Structure 1
Amino acid sequence: MPDQKKATRYGLATVAMWSTVATAFKLSLAHLDPLQLLLYASLSSCLALAATLAVRGKLGALTRLSRAQWKRSFALGALNPFLYYTILFAAYDLLPAQEAQPLNYTWAITLSLLAVPLLGQKLRGRDLLALVVSYSGVVVISTHGDILGMRFASPSGVALALASTVIWALYWIAGTKDDRDPVVGLLANFLCSLPLTLLAVLCFSDPFPGSLAGLGGAAYVGVFEMGLAFVTWLTALKCAVNAARVANLIFLSPFLSLILIHFFVGEEILPSTMVGLVLILAGLAAQRRKS
């Protein structure tokens, strides 16, 4: 039954988890490389999602998926978590967390752009406004405010962070016709991605990182960022009388995240980061605004 207070509680719980992940990424990457982090985070996420389905009495739904649905899971799993998090973690490895985190929020703008050729949607005026405003924020953050000089602190890191938004948008577009239970589908996607991740680790990394701190960080990322946050967010939207009120809670996350980055990662938050983040969120708000 709809319950706005319950929806708000679940929404705030999700925001709390999202606010910690940039810090968790950065601290974990001090002990693991991006592929190692992805492998152990994916394993942890699979366990968390399987436990969630078991509690709900839906774990058996995995065995009832058709061959076509498993094929879809392999394709979607190659996008997320495999490609998406490989690229995102690599971006966090190159960039300060305060830069990588706001850049990742531009995925909604990327989604609206890709929906034009892939879904046949039209680009509205407010989409163009959102694009200009948000990517102005990207330039401010990436150049540390030196817009005229256009000297990027880490061009490779910025390119990877923006590339991750393309993969994420493609994942959501590809999943628009997925009629499975969302949690069942996500677990199937993650299970299908594990062989790809393990192969990448065996070829380009080391499956035995030898760092308990890194493994603990990976477990946190897998359980909360990849697993429970998805479940609580779906629950919040399902319970909401007014879904827009719940959706607006996401604007709290990046600011809370910067506070945690400052105190736990030790980064001095630059004025250019705050200005750029405000521009990115202003662009997203303009895109969401009703005509």
Structure 2
Amino acid sequence: MKISSVGSDIALTAVAPAIWGSTYLVTTEFLPPGYPLTAAMLRALPAGLILLLIVRQLPFGIWWRRSFILGALNFSFFWAMLFISAYRLPGGVAATVGAIQPLIVVLIARSLIGTPVKPLAIIAALIGMAGVGLLVLTPSAALDPIGVIAGLAGAVSMAFGTVLTRRWAPPVSSLTVTAWQLTAGGLLLLPVALLLEPTLPVPTLANALGMAWLGLIGAAFTSVLWFRGIARIGPAIVAPLGFLSPLVATLLGWSVLGQSLTPLQIIGVVMVLTSVWLGQRAQMAPRTAAPVTAMPASGR
């Protein structure tokens, strides 16, 4: 793959985590509090059904099972944990906990798809985690144990989903992959939300706009870009881009909510951007291994 093509793929994929950075702002400012599972379900299922109507293709064979596994890892469980973390922790703390995901992806990719663990990639991930910490942690930041555990669990879940999406390499377009996974993830969340949470109140206009943004833009559109990036350039290159999410979250808090931006946070901005750049440099060295191909249906 040409360097210029890789650069374009990286830039396009980076749009997804940049948009995801708005999740904390939208969740706290536009959604009713106390409905993490319902919010996750409403983010996934309507968007997935809309995409299914567009692609008009259902999973086939082993892809029924794999779509539900990937839907659970990338959406059901991950978003449930994300919303629990976002509701119970300040947005910055939640983002910091989730920042461990790129490091987990590097380690899982080594085990599942044979991607070599490069020292520079580990260093880049650690710099990114430290940068996110400077960006979002403040002396007043509360560390709710349940919120922290939820954030860690969500990071591990999406890390596995990211790597398995590459390993299984669905033989369909990124749009179709997104439709399958979003729908499966939403269906898995539906009974859980109905059983464990009270009935959602009649939504206000702000609630409806918030869910529309999180579902259509923050779920459907961004997931197509994310899965496309995983398929074309691999999870090890894609994962460090996730650091852009807390960076955007911090900048939105500063520009929209009037939150202060301290000198330490500015250093954190520089560290996060440096981490993303180093992460790409580490993974874009010439490869000699054969490209990953789809596994046969009987492979798992």
TM-score (norm 1): 0.74
Question: Is the contact between residue 44 and residue 219 of structure 1 (CA under 8 Å) also seen in structure 2?
Answer: no
Question: Is the contact between residue 73 and residue 188 of structure 1 (CA under 8 Å) also seen in structure 2?
Answer: yes
Distance between the aligned counterparts of 1:183 and 1:156, measured in 2?
A: 34
Q: 1:39-118 counterparts in 2 under 5 A? A: 39-50=41-52, 54=54, 59-62=55-58, 65-101=59-95, 103-118=97-112
How big is the shift at 1:47? 4.2
Instruction: Name the structure where helix makes up a greater proportion of residues.
Output: 1
Please state whether the residue corresponding to 2:56 is helix, strand or coil.
helix
Q: 1:170-189 counterparts in 2 under 5 A? A: 170-176=160-166, 177-179=168-170, 180-189=172-181
Structure 1 residue 167 and structure 2 residue 157: aligned? yes
The one-letter code of the counterpart of 2:117 is L
With over 3 angstroms needed to count, the CA separation of the structure-2 counterparts of 1:93 and 1:46, relative to structure 1, is same
How big is the shift at 1:199? 1.3
Structure 2 residues not aligned, in runs of 5+: 286-300
Question: Is the contact between residue 48 and residue 223 of structure 1 (CA under 8 Å) also seen in structure 2?
Answer: no
The Cα RMSD (Å) is 4.0
With over 3 angstroms needed to count, the CA separation of the structure-2 counterparts of 1:103 and 1:275, relative to structure 1, is farther
Question: Is the contact between residue 24 and residue 217 of structure 1 (CA under 8 Å) also seen in structure 2?
Answer: yes
With over 3 angstroms needed to count, the CA separation of the structure-2 counterparts of 1:252 and 1:136, relative to structure 1, is closer
Moved more, 272-281 or 104-113: 272-281
1:225 is aligned to: 218
Deviations 1:56-89 (A, max 9, x none): xxx2322xx3231111111111112100000111
Question: Is the contact between residue 38 and residue 197 of structure 2 (CA under 8 Å) also seen in structure 1?
Answer: yes
How big is the shift at 1:191? 1.7
The one-letter code of the counterpart of 1:60 is R
2:254 is aligned to: 262
With over 3 angstroms needed to count, the CA separation of the structure-2 counterparts of 1:115 and 1:158, relative to structure 1, is same
Moved more, 14-23 or 34-43: 14-23
Moved more, 120-129 or 266-275: 266-275
Distance between the aligned counterparts of 2:216 and 2:72, measured in 1?
A: 20
Question: Is the contact between residue 28 and residue 37 of structure 1 (CA under 8 Å) also seen in structure 2?
Answer: no
Deviations 1:98-143 (A, max 9, x none): 3433553442222002223333444222133224323334554675
Question: Is the contact between residue 9 and residue 232 of structure 2 (CA under 8 Å) also seen in structure 1?
Answer: yes
Paired-residue identity, %: 22
Question: Is the contact between residue 29 and residue 214 of structure 1 (CA under 8 Å) also seen in structure 2?
Answer: yes
The one-letter code of the counterpart of 1:25 is T
Question: Is the contact between residue 100 and residue 161 of structure 1 (CA under 8 Å) also seen in structure 2?
Answer: yes
With over 3 angstroms needed to count, the CA separation of the structure-2 counterparts of 1:8 and 1:134, relative to structure 1, is closer
1:128 to 122, 125, 131: 122
Question: Is the contact between residue 74 and residue 162 of structure 2 (CA under 8 Å) also seen in structure 1?
Answer: no
Question: Is the contact between residue 143 and residue 152 of structure 1 (CA under 8 Å) also seen in structure 2?
Answer: no
